[in-house]
């Protein structure tokens, strides 16, 4: 057990072993008291992959699966992969590569189908999808929502959670309804980069003190994340890998023991069926 006396999970960060800090970032996290990680693949274009078929995403997923295996050699707990297609890809396909929105939709859905194979065989615990957080045309918005809904269907089919990158909002009950309609419990849909309050999916709260205080006071299920991007041109962006352990320490100092257990033990089990206590091995 770490000095904090609790599992400490960063629910959403990226590791880039070739271009970024990779395992060195994991070591920083572990030295600070971090024990568990959910590692999300970087957007395909940031790993130099120009996808033309669903199969082309496999190289992106393999990079993440491999770095997760190395992280498991460092952590006192465990790391798991979250794999999918970044929703911002739609704009690169439509604006830069001349795809029409329906073609972009089909390619992104094909990539998600490959990601679902990794979930089905146990090499990933969740899918990643979403929709643009910026203004797009109606056709692109419709295509993006179709991709998101397919991710929810694949989550239901593989009995896996789905992490979403979406517009900033405190109410995503529309997506929660889509999930339920697809057979995926709304609590197993996670909004990455969330504030402290959210209607519908489970919020993965950016680990800033003001957001965390709101989540802790609310008493609802939540997770904590940094969205560390592991980009040498943006060191520390979005938040550095030491942040979640430090914020857990702060929450404990502030008397939020129940919130810490909520975010690092109870909600990971509820959302992903992960036991962060049983997997704390050293």
Here the tokens at position 161 are: 């959670």
Q: Which domain holds residue 257?
A: 9-272
Cβ neighbours around 22 below 10 Å, total:
16
Asked if residue 44 is part of any domain, the answer here is: yes
For tokens 């309804």, the residue is 177
- The series of mean pLDDT values per 10 residues for the chain, 282 residues long, is 90 96 97 98 96 98 98 98 98 98 98 98 98 97 98 98 98 98 98 98 98 98 97 87 98 98 98 97 70
For residue 100, the model assigns a pLDDT of: 98
Asked if residue 82 is part of any domain, the answer here is: yes
For residue 230, the model assigns a pLDDT of: 96
Instruction: Say which CATH number the domain at 45 has.
Output: 3.20.20.140
Q: Which residues contact 194 (CB under 8 A, 6 or more apart)?
A: 203, 204, 205, 206, 211, 222
Asked if residue 67 is part of any domain, the answer here is: yes
Residues pairing with 200 in the sheet = none
For residue 89, the model assigns a pLDDT of: 98
Asked if residue 68 is part of any domain, the answer here is: yes
191 φ, ψ (degrees, to nearest 5): -90, 110
Asked if residue 1 is part of any domain, the answer here is: no
Asked if residue 281 is part of any domain, the answer here is: no
For residue 2, the model assigns a pLDDT of: 85
Asked if residue 85 is part of any domain, the answer here is: yes
Give the chain's domain count. Answer: 1
pTM of the model: 0.97
Asked if residue 4 is part of any domain, the answer here is: no
152 φ, ψ (degrees, to nearest 5): -65, -40
Residues pairing with 38 in the sheet = 80
For residue 1, the model assigns a pLDDT of: 66
């Amino acid at each position: 057990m770490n000095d904090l006396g609790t599992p400490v999970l960063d629910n959403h960060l990226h590791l880039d072993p070739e271009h970024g800090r990779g395992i060195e970032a994991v070591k920083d996290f572990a030295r600070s008291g971090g024990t568990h990680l959910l590692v999300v693949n970087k957007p395909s274009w940031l790993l130099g992959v120009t996808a033309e078929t669903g199969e082309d995403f496999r190289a992106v997923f393999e990079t993440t699966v491999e770095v997760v295996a190395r992280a498991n050699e460092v952590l006192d707990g465990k790391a798991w992969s979250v794999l999918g297609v970044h929703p911002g890809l739609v704009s690169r396909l439509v604006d830069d590569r001349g795809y029409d929105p329906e073609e972009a939709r089909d390619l992104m859905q094909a990539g998600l189908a490959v990601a679902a194979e990794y979930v089905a065989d146990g090499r990933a615990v969740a899918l990643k999808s979403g929709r643009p957080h910026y203004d797009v045309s109606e056709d692109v918005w419709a295509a993006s929502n179709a991709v998101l809904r397919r991710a929810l269907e694949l989550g239901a089919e593989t009995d896996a959670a789905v992490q979403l990158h979406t517009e900033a909002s405190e109410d995503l009950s529309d997506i929660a309804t889509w999930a339920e309609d697809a057979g995926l419990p709304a609590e197993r849909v996670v909004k990455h980069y969330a504030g402290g309050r959210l209607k519908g999916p489970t919020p993965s709260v950016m680990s800033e003190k003001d957001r965390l205080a709101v989540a802790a006071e609310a008493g609802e299920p939540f997770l904590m994340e940094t969205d560390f991007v592991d980009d040498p041109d943006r060191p520390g962006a979005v938040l550095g890998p030491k942040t979640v352990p430090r914020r857990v320490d702060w929450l404990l100092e502030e008397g939020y023991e129940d919130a810490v257990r909520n975010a690092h033990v109870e909600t990971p089990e509820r959302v992903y069926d992960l036991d962060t206590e049983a997997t704390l091995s050293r």
